[in-house]
Structure 1
Amino acid sequence: MRPLAVLLRAVNVGGRTLKMDEWRALLAAEGFEEPETLLASGNAVVISAEPAAAVEDKVAAALQRELGLAAEAFVRDLGQLEATIAANPFADFAQESPSKLMAVFLKGEAPQDLSPLERYATMGERFAPGPGCLYIAYPEGAGRSKLANAKPPGGPGTARNWNTVRRLAERLAQLAR
Protein backbone atom coordinates (compact mmCIF):
# COMPACT_ATOMS: atom_id res chain seq x y z
CA MET A 1 0.00 0.00 0.00
CA ARG A 2 1.29 3.43 -0.90
CA PRO A 3 -0.04 6.96 -1.13
CA LEU A 4 -0.89 8.25 -4.59
CA ALA A 5 -1.92 11.62 -5.98
CA VAL A 6 -4.87 11.40 -8.37
CA LEU A 7 -5.22 14.42 -10.66
CA LEU A 8 -8.24 14.90 -12.88
CA ARG A 9 -8.17 16.72 -16.18
CA ALA A 10 -10.74 19.41 -17.01
CA VAL A 11 -12.99 19.37 -13.96
CA ASN A 12 -14.39 22.45 -12.25
CA VAL A 13 -13.72 24.47 -15.40
CA GLY A 14 -16.11 25.37 -18.19
CA GLY A 15 -19.18 24.13 -16.33
CA ARG A 16 -17.81 20.63 -15.62
CA THR A 17 -18.24 20.52 -11.86
CA LEU A 18 -17.27 17.88 -9.36
CA LYS A 19 -18.08 18.45 -5.71
CA MET A 20 -15.21 17.42 -3.48
CA ASP A 21 -17.44 15.45 -1.09
CA GLU A 22 -18.74 13.43 -4.09
CA TRP A 23 -15.16 12.93 -5.28
CA ARG A 24 -14.02 11.58 -1.89
CA ALA A 25 -17.12 9.34 -1.62
CA LEU A 26 -16.54 7.94 -5.10
CA LEU A 27 -12.90 7.15 -4.29
CA ALA A 28 -13.89 5.43 -1.05
CA ALA A 29 -16.60 3.42 -2.84
CA GLU A 30 -13.98 2.25 -5.34
CA GLY A 31 -11.94 0.80 -2.47
CA PHE A 32 -9.25 3.45 -2.10
CA GLU A 33 -8.18 4.02 1.47
CA GLU A 34 -8.14 7.39 3.22
CA PRO A 35 -9.28 9.53 0.25
CA GLU A 36 -8.60 13.23 0.70
CA THR A 37 -9.05 16.14 -1.66
CA LEU A 38 -6.73 19.10 -2.08
CA LEU A 39 -8.27 22.32 -3.34
CA ALA A 40 -11.36 22.15 -5.56
CA SER A 41 -9.62 21.36 -8.82
CA GLY A 42 -9.74 17.59 -9.03
CA ASN A 43 -6.79 16.70 -6.80
CA ALA A 44 -7.03 13.75 -4.45
CA VAL A 45 -4.71 11.64 -2.36
CA VAL A 46 -5.49 7.97 -1.77
CA ILE A 47 -3.81 4.86 -0.41
CA SER A 48 -3.68 1.95 -2.85
CA ALA A 49 -1.66 -1.12 -3.77
CA GLU A 50 -2.82 -0.97 -7.39
CA PRO A 51 -0.48 0.15 -10.20
CA ALA A 52 -0.89 3.76 -11.33
CA ALA A 53 -2.36 2.84 -14.73
CA ALA A 54 -5.00 0.65 -13.07
CA VAL A 55 -5.93 3.48 -10.70
CA GLU A 56 -6.23 5.90 -13.64
CA ASP A 57 -8.55 3.53 -15.51
CA LYS A 58 -10.61 2.69 -12.43
CA VAL A 59 -11.13 6.34 -11.47
CA ALA A 60 -12.05 7.43 -15.00
CA ALA A 61 -14.53 4.56 -15.35
CA ALA A 62 -16.13 5.28 -11.96
CA LEU A 63 -16.51 9.00 -12.73
CA GLN A 64 -18.28 8.16 -15.98
CA ARG A 65 -20.43 5.39 -14.53
CA GLU A 66 -21.43 7.05 -11.24
CA LEU A 67 -21.45 10.76 -12.08
CA GLY A 68 -21.67 10.88 -15.87
CA LEU A 69 -18.41 12.83 -15.94
CA ALA A 70 -15.90 12.04 -18.67
CA ALA A 71 -12.53 12.98 -17.19
CA GLU A 72 -9.05 11.57 -17.51
CA ALA A 73 -7.09 10.73 -14.37
CA PHE A 74 -3.34 11.12 -13.96
CA VAL A 75 -1.71 9.31 -11.04
CA ARG A 76 1.66 10.07 -9.46
CA ASP A 77 3.41 8.50 -6.50
CA LEU A 78 5.77 10.29 -4.14
CA GLY A 79 8.90 9.33 -6.09
CA GLN A 80 7.43 10.69 -9.31
CA LEU A 81 6.41 13.98 -7.69
CA GLU A 82 9.84 14.31 -6.07
CA ALA A 83 11.46 13.68 -9.48
CA THR A 84 9.24 16.38 -11.00
CA ILE A 85 10.31 18.82 -8.30
CA ALA A 86 14.01 17.91 -8.53
CA ALA A 87 14.16 18.21 -12.33
CA ASN A 88 12.49 21.64 -12.47
CA PRO A 89 14.57 23.73 -14.90
CA PHE A 90 12.92 26.94 -13.66
CA ALA A 91 13.83 26.75 -9.96
CA ASP A 92 14.40 30.49 -9.62
CA PHE A 93 11.04 31.24 -11.23
CA ALA A 94 9.40 28.67 -8.92
CA GLN A 95 10.74 30.59 -5.91
CA GLU A 96 9.64 33.97 -7.26
CA SER A 97 6.28 33.08 -8.83
CA PRO A 98 5.17 29.56 -7.86
CA SER A 99 1.57 30.17 -8.95
CA LYS A 100 2.79 31.02 -12.46
CA LEU A 101 4.86 27.86 -12.96
CA MET A 102 2.93 24.83 -14.17
CA ALA A 103 3.75 21.17 -14.36
CA VAL A 104 1.62 19.62 -17.10
CA PHE A 105 1.39 15.93 -16.20
CA LEU A 106 1.24 13.55 -19.17
CA LYS A 107 0.39 9.86 -19.55
CA GLY A 108 3.83 9.03 -20.91
CA GLU A 109 7.18 10.68 -21.18
CA ALA A 110 7.41 14.23 -22.45
CA PRO A 111 8.72 14.62 -25.99
CA GLN A 112 12.09 16.32 -26.22
CA ASP A 113 11.05 18.37 -29.25
CA LEU A 114 8.72 21.07 -28.01
CA SER A 115 9.14 23.33 -31.03
CA PRO A 116 5.40 23.06 -31.92
CA LEU A 117 4.69 25.14 -28.80
CA GLU A 118 6.95 28.03 -29.80
CA ARG A 119 4.30 29.78 -31.90
CA TYR A 120 2.00 30.01 -28.86
CA ALA A 121 4.64 31.49 -26.54
CA THR A 122 3.96 35.15 -27.27
CA MET A 123 4.13 36.53 -23.71
CA GLY A 124 7.61 35.47 -22.62
CA GLU A 125 6.60 31.94 -21.63
CA ARG A 126 9.32 29.35 -21.27
CA PHE A 127 8.85 25.59 -21.35
CA ALA A 128 10.88 22.40 -21.04
CA PRO A 129 10.32 18.64 -20.91
CA GLY A 130 10.50 16.82 -17.60
CA PRO A 131 9.91 13.35 -16.19
CA GLY A 132 6.37 12.58 -17.38
CA CYS A 133 5.56 16.26 -17.57
CA LEU A 134 6.13 19.58 -19.25
CA TYR A 135 7.21 22.61 -17.25
CA ILE A 136 5.73 25.91 -18.37
CA ALA A 137 6.67 29.26 -16.84
CA TYR A 138 4.08 31.98 -17.46
CA PRO A 139 5.64 35.33 -16.46
CA GLU A 140 2.37 37.14 -17.22
CA GLY A 141 0.18 34.34 -15.86
CA ALA A 142 -1.64 31.64 -17.79
CA GLY A 143 -4.99 33.45 -18.02
CA ARG A 144 -4.33 35.32 -21.27
CA SER A 145 -1.61 33.08 -22.66
CA LYS A 146 -2.18 31.33 -25.97
CA LEU A 147 0.19 28.64 -24.73
CA ALA A 148 -2.19 27.71 -21.90
CA ASN A 149 -4.76 26.54 -24.47
CA ALA A 150 -2.34 24.77 -26.81
CA LYS A 151 -2.47 20.99 -26.93
CA PRO A 152 0.71 19.70 -25.32
CA PRO A 153 2.96 17.49 -27.42
CA GLY A 154 2.87 14.01 -25.95
CA GLY A 155 -0.91 13.82 -25.66
CA PRO A 156 -3.42 15.27 -23.25
CA GLY A 157 -2.23 16.41 -19.89
CA THR A 158 -3.37 18.13 -16.75
CA ALA A 159 -1.65 21.22 -15.39
CA ARG A 160 -0.99 22.05 -11.75
CA ASN A 161 0.78 25.13 -10.46
CA TRP A 162 3.97 24.76 -8.47
CA ASN A 163 2.28 25.43 -5.12
CA THR A 164 -0.08 22.51 -5.75
CA VAL A 165 2.71 20.18 -6.93
CA ARG A 166 4.66 20.86 -3.74
CA ARG A 167 1.59 20.47 -1.51
CA LEU A 168 0.75 17.13 -3.11
CA ALA A 169 4.32 15.89 -2.62
CA GLU A 170 4.31 17.06 1.01
CA ARG A 171 1.04 15.26 1.71
CA LEU A 172 2.25 12.03 0.10
CA ALA A 173 5.46 12.24 2.17
CA GLN A 174 3.39 12.61 5.35
CA LEU A 175 1.28 9.59 4.47
CA ALA A 176 4.33 7.51 3.53
CA ARG A 177 5.77 7.77 7.06
Structure 2
Amino acid sequence: MRYVILLRGVNVGGVTVRMAELRELLEGLGYGEVTTVLASGNALVTSDASAARVKADVEAALRERFGYDAWVHVMSTDALRTIVDAYPFERGRDGWHDYVLFVLDGGVQARILELELDPAHESAASGDGVVYWTVPKGDTLDSQLGTAIGKAAYKPHLTSRNINTLDKLLR
Protein backbone atom coordinates (compact mmCIF):
# COMPACT_ATOMS: atom_id res chain seq x y z
CA MET A 1 0.00 0.00 0.00
CA ARG A 2 1.26 3.50 -0.78
CA TYR A 3 0.64 5.86 2.13
CA VAL A 4 0.79 9.60 2.64
CA ILE A 5 2.08 10.66 6.07
CA LEU A 6 1.36 14.22 7.21
CA LEU A 7 3.22 15.39 10.31
CA ARG A 8 1.53 18.05 12.40
CA GLY A 9 3.37 21.12 13.66
CA VAL A 10 6.91 20.47 12.47
CA ASN A 11 9.36 23.13 11.33
CA VAL A 12 7.22 25.77 13.02
CA GLY A 13 7.08 26.74 16.68
CA GLY A 14 10.44 25.27 17.64
CA VAL A 15 9.95 21.66 16.48
CA THR A 16 12.53 21.00 13.76
CA VAL A 17 12.52 17.78 11.78
CA ARG A 18 14.78 17.86 8.75
CA MET A 19 13.38 15.91 5.84
CA ALA A 20 16.59 13.86 5.50
CA GLU A 21 16.16 12.80 9.13
CA LEU A 22 12.51 11.99 8.51
CA ARG A 23 13.46 9.83 5.50
CA GLU A 24 16.06 8.03 7.62
CA LEU A 25 13.56 7.45 10.42
CA LEU A 26 10.91 6.07 8.04
CA GLU A 27 13.41 3.82 6.27
CA GLY A 28 14.58 2.61 9.70
CA LEU A 29 11.00 1.56 10.45
CA GLY A 30 11.15 -0.66 7.39
CA TYR A 31 9.02 1.37 5.00
CA GLY A 32 9.83 1.26 1.30
CA GLU A 33 9.97 3.89 -1.42
CA VAL A 34 10.31 6.69 1.16
CA THR A 35 9.97 10.17 -0.30
CA THR A 36 9.56 13.51 1.44
CA VAL A 37 7.81 16.45 -0.17
CA LEU A 38 8.68 20.02 0.79
CA ALA A 39 10.02 20.82 4.26
CA SER A 40 6.71 20.82 6.08
CA GLY A 41 6.45 17.20 7.21
CA ASN A 42 5.03 15.36 4.22
CA ALA A 43 6.14 11.85 3.29
CA LEU A 44 5.17 8.99 1.04
CA VAL A 45 5.96 5.37 1.95
CA THR A 46 4.98 1.86 1.00
CA SER A 47 4.04 -0.71 3.62
CA ASP A 48 2.01 -3.87 4.08
CA ALA A 49 0.89 -2.59 7.49
CA SER A 50 -2.46 -0.91 8.09
CA ALA A 51 -2.71 2.88 8.15
CA ALA A 52 -3.42 2.70 11.89
CA ARG A 53 -0.25 0.65 12.48
CA VAL A 54 1.84 3.07 10.39
CA LYS A 55 0.40 6.00 12.35
CA ALA A 56 1.18 4.43 15.72
CA ASP A 57 4.71 3.40 14.71
CA VAL A 58 5.62 6.76 13.16
CA GLU A 59 4.27 8.75 16.11
CA ALA A 60 6.21 6.60 18.58
CA ALA A 61 9.42 6.87 16.55
CA LEU A 62 9.10 10.65 16.17
CA ARG A 63 8.49 11.07 19.90
CA GLU A 64 11.51 8.95 20.75
CA ARG A 65 13.91 10.47 18.23
CA PHE A 66 12.89 14.13 18.32
CA GLY A 67 11.39 14.41 21.81
CA TYR A 68 8.13 16.13 20.99
CA ASP A 69 4.44 15.25 21.13
CA ALA A 70 4.16 13.91 17.59
CA TRP A 71 0.85 13.51 15.78
CA VAL A 72 0.56 12.29 12.24
CA HIS A 73 -2.20 11.64 9.76
CA VAL A 74 -1.83 8.58 7.53
CA MET A 75 -3.94 7.70 4.50
CA SER A 76 -3.57 5.88 1.23
CA THR A 77 -2.71 7.89 -1.85
CA ASP A 78 -6.09 6.82 -3.28
CA ALA A 79 -7.86 8.30 -0.25
CA LEU A 80 -5.90 11.53 -0.64
CA ARG A 81 -6.82 11.68 -4.35
CA THR A 82 -10.51 11.35 -3.41
CA ILE A 83 -10.17 14.18 -0.86
CA VAL A 84 -8.42 16.50 -3.32
CA ASP A 85 -10.87 15.74 -6.12
CA ALA A 86 -13.78 16.62 -3.80
CA TYR A 87 -12.47 20.14 -3.00
CA PRO A 88 -15.71 22.15 -3.21
CA PHE A 89 -14.41 25.68 -3.78
CA GLU A 90 -12.97 27.31 -6.86
CA ARG A 91 -9.27 26.52 -6.79
CA GLY A 92 -6.49 28.96 -7.53
CA ARG A 93 -8.41 32.21 -7.15
CA ASP A 94 -6.07 35.17 -7.26
CA GLY A 95 -5.32 36.33 -3.71
CA TRP A 96 -6.79 33.25 -1.97
CA HIS A 97 -5.40 30.14 -0.27
CA ASP A 98 -7.08 26.77 -0.64
CA TYR A 99 -6.64 24.39 2.32
CA VAL A 100 -7.66 20.98 3.53
CA LEU A 101 -7.80 20.39 7.29
CA PHE A 102 -7.31 16.72 8.14
CA VAL A 103 -9.34 16.03 11.28
CA LEU A 104 -9.06 12.83 13.32
CA ASP A 105 -11.92 13.58 15.70
CA GLY A 106 -15.51 13.98 14.48
CA GLY A 107 -16.36 16.25 17.42
CA VAL A 108 -13.54 18.60 16.51
CA GLN A 109 -14.69 18.60 12.90
CA ALA A 110 -18.23 19.47 14.00
CA ARG A 111 -17.01 22.34 16.23
CA ILE A 112 -14.96 23.77 13.37
CA LEU A 113 -17.93 23.59 11.01
CA GLU A 114 -20.20 25.27 13.58
CA LEU A 115 -18.18 28.49 13.36
CA GLU A 116 -20.19 31.27 11.77
CA LEU A 117 -17.82 32.45 9.05
CA ASP A 118 -18.23 35.51 6.88
CA PRO A 119 -18.35 33.93 3.38
CA ALA A 120 -16.93 37.12 1.87
CA HIS A 121 -13.83 36.53 4.00
CA GLU A 122 -13.52 32.73 4.33
CA SER A 123 -15.53 29.60 3.68
CA ALA A 124 -15.43 26.07 5.06
CA ALA A 125 -17.17 22.86 4.03
CA SER A 126 -17.31 19.33 5.35
CA GLY A 127 -15.64 16.35 3.71
CA ASP A 128 -14.87 12.78 4.72
CA GLY A 129 -12.54 13.30 7.70
CA VAL A 130 -11.60 16.74 6.45
CA VAL A 131 -12.71 20.34 6.44
CA TYR A 132 -12.19 22.23 3.21
CA TRP A 133 -11.27 25.88 3.71
CA THR A 134 -10.57 28.90 1.55
CA VAL A 135 -9.29 32.21 2.91
CA PRO A 136 -7.59 35.34 1.52
CA LYS A 137 -3.80 35.25 1.42
CA GLY A 138 -2.36 37.04 4.43
CA ASP A 139 -5.42 36.32 6.58
CA THR A 140 -4.87 32.62 7.28
CA LEU A 141 -3.72 32.95 10.90
CA ASP A 142 -5.96 35.90 11.79
CA SER A 143 -9.18 34.64 10.23
CA GLN A 144 -11.92 33.25 12.44
CA LEU A 145 -11.25 29.66 11.44
CA GLY A 146 -7.46 30.15 11.49
CA THR A 147 -7.63 31.49 15.04
CA ALA A 148 -9.86 28.59 16.14
CA ILE A 149 -7.68 25.82 14.73
CA GLY A 150 -4.57 27.36 16.28
CA LYS A 151 -5.81 26.49 19.76
CA ALA A 152 -3.80 23.93 21.72
CA ALA A 153 -6.87 21.74 22.25
CA TYR A 154 -6.95 20.97 18.52
CA LYS A 155 -3.25 20.05 18.13
CA PRO A 156 -3.65 16.29 18.50
CA HIS A 157 -6.64 16.21 16.17
CA LEU A 158 -5.84 18.12 13.01
CA THR A 159 -3.29 19.34 10.56
CA SER A 160 -3.73 21.56 7.53
CA ARG A 161 -2.22 21.51 4.07
CA ASN A 162 -2.48 23.84 1.13
CA ILE A 163 -4.13 22.00 -1.73
CA ASN A 164 -1.08 22.72 -3.92
CA THR A 165 1.04 20.71 -1.48
CA LEU A 166 -1.45 17.84 -1.70
CA ASP A 167 -1.21 17.95 -5.50
CA LYS A 168 2.59 17.57 -5.17
CA LEU A 169 2.12 14.50 -2.96
CA LEU A 170 -0.05 12.91 -5.66
CA ARG A 171 2.38 13.39 -8.57
TM-score normalized with structure 1 length: 0.82
Q: Separation in 1 of the partners of 2:94 and 2:79?
A: 22
Q: Which amino acid aligns with 1:162?
A: I
CA distance in 1, matches of 2:78, 2:72: 18
1:97-108 correspondence to structure 2 within 5 Å? 97=94, 100-108=97-105
Runs of 4+ aligned structure 1 residues displaced above 3 Å come to 108-113, 151-155
Show CA shifts across 1:66-111 (max 9, x none): 2212210101212211211222110x2x132597111011225544
Corresponding residue for 1:20? 19
Task: Choose from 141, 145, 148 the match for 2:146.
Answer: 148
Task: Report the equivalent of 1:61.
Answer: 60
Alpha carbons of structure 1 residues 42 and 98: separation in structure 2 relative to 1, 3 Å? farther
Structure 1: unaligned runs, 5 residues or longer:
171-177
Residue equivalent to 1:132? 129
Q: Given residue 83 of structure 1, which amino acid in structure 2 is its aligned partner?
A: T
Identity of aligned residues (%): 36
Cα displacement (A) at 1:149 = 3.0
* One-letter identity of the residue aligned with 1:156: H
Q: 1 CA distance for matches of 2:112 and 2:37?
A: 32
Alignment correspondent of 2:161: 160
Tell whether the 8 Å contact from 1:106 to 1:132 is kept in structure 2 after alignment: yes
Residue among 87, 92, 97 paired with 1:95: 92
Match of 1:72 in 2: 71
Residue identity opposite 1:65 in structure 2: E
Report the RMSD for the aligned CA atoms in angstroms.
2.6
1:122–1:16 Cα change, 3 Å: farther
The CA distance in 2 between the partners of 1:49 and 1:72, in whole Å, is: 21
For 2:68 and 2:94, locate their aligned partners in 1 and report how far apart those are by CA, in whole Å: 33
Q: Which amino acid aligns with 1:128?
A: A
Partner residue in 2 for 1:29? 28
**TM-score, normalised via structure 2 length:** 0.85
Aligned partners of 1:149, 1:39: CA distance in 2, in Å?
25
Residues in 1 aligned to 2:95 and 2:166: alpha-carbon distance in whole angstroms: 10
**How far did residue 28 of structure 1 move?**
0.6
Q: Which amino acid aligns with 1:84?
A: I
2:38: which partner in 1? 39
